[in-house]
Amino acid sequence: MAVVIVDYGMGNLRSVQKALVRVGVASEISSDPRVAAAATGLVLPGVGAFKDAMQRLKASHLDEVVRQHLAADRPFLGICLGMQLLFASSTEDGSHPGLGVLAGRVIRFPSVPGCKVPHMGWNTIRPGQPPGPWHDLVEPTWMYFVHGYYCEPEPNPSLSLLLCDYAGVSFCAGLARSRMLAVQFHPEKSQGAGQYILHKFATLC
C-alpha cells in the first residue's frame, strides 16, 4: 500500500480517506508502525490535545516512523494537530515537546475582543513569500478551521507558508517544504476547496 493514514486514536480518519479517493489516492488506515514505515506516502491527521497525541505516537513508536519518513523526504501530509505535532513544542496545557521536525512552537491565540477562541469556522488563506507550491492558489479560498492554538515557525526561507488572519495574528495556516505538506485547517471538511490541498499531496505520491 502506497499511502498510509496514521491511526493513533485521535479522531475520525474515514473522511480523510474518502476525500483522498476523490483526488485519486487510495490509502490504508493503520496503527501498525511497520505498515506506516513501509508507506511511500504518510498522512498524519488528528484532533485533540497535543500532549495526549504525542504520548500515543510514542507509545506505538509511530513518532520515529514519522521522523524517519520525513528525513527520507517521502510524501507527507499533516492535518490540524498533525501539523502542530511537527514542531518542537506546544504551550497547550503546560509545555510539551513535539516531534521536533520543525523549529518553532505552538501557541494559543491571544484574547482579542470580538475574536472567540477556538478559531472555529471558515476563513480565507493566502500564500506567503516565497509562495512555492501555493503559487496557483485562487483567492479567496475558504477553508474550515477549528483550533485554539496555532503554529509559529521560526523564520525559515525553505518553508513556503499559507497564511490566515485571525485575532490580530497572521498565522501559519499551512506549510510546504520539499515533499512535506502540512495544514492547520481541514481539507477533508472544506468541501471543494479542500481538494486543492489534497491534490497537491496526490501529485507528490
Partner 1 sequence: MLAKRLIPCLDIALGRVVKGVHFQNLRDAGDPVEVARHYEEEGADELVFLDISASHEGRDTMLDVVRRVAEECYMPLTVGGGIRSVEDATRLIQAGAEKVSLNTTAVLRPEVVSQIARRFGSCATVVNIDPKRVPLPEVGGPDVEASWIGPAASWAGYVVPLSAHRPGQVWWQVHIQGGRAPTGKEALSWAREVEQLGAGEIILTSMDADGTRNGYDLEMTRAVAGAVGIPVVASGGAGTPEHLHAALTEGLADAVLAASMFHFQEYSIAACKRYLADRGVCVRL
List of residues contacting partner 1 (CB under 8 A): 10-12, 14-15, 18-19, 22, 47-49, 52, 81, 111, 113-124, 142, 144-148, 165-166, 186, 188-192, 194
Angle CA(85)–CA(123)–CA(83) in degrees, nearest 5? 10
Indicate the residue among 121 and 130 with the shorter CB distance to partner 1: 121
Active-site annotation holds for 199? no
Based on the residue annotation, tell me whether 154 is a catalytic residue of this protein. Answer: no
Q: State which residue, 134 or 149, has the beta carbon closest to partner 1.
A: 149
Tell me whether residue 152 is one of the annotated catalytic residues: no
Joined grid coordinates for residue 54: 504525542
d(CA 155, CA 126): 18
Give me the least distance between CB of 177 and partner 1, in Å please. Answer: 26
Provide the 10 A C-beta neighbour count for residue 23. Answer: 18
| Least distance CB 100 / partner 1 (angstroms) | 22
The minimum distance between CB 4 and partner 1, in angstroms, equals 18
Can you point out the beta strands (E) in the chain? 3-6, 27-30, 41-44, 76-79, 87-90, 96-97, 102-108, 119-127, 141-147, 149-153, 160-166, 169-177, 180-183
The residues assigned a catalytic role are 80, 186, 188
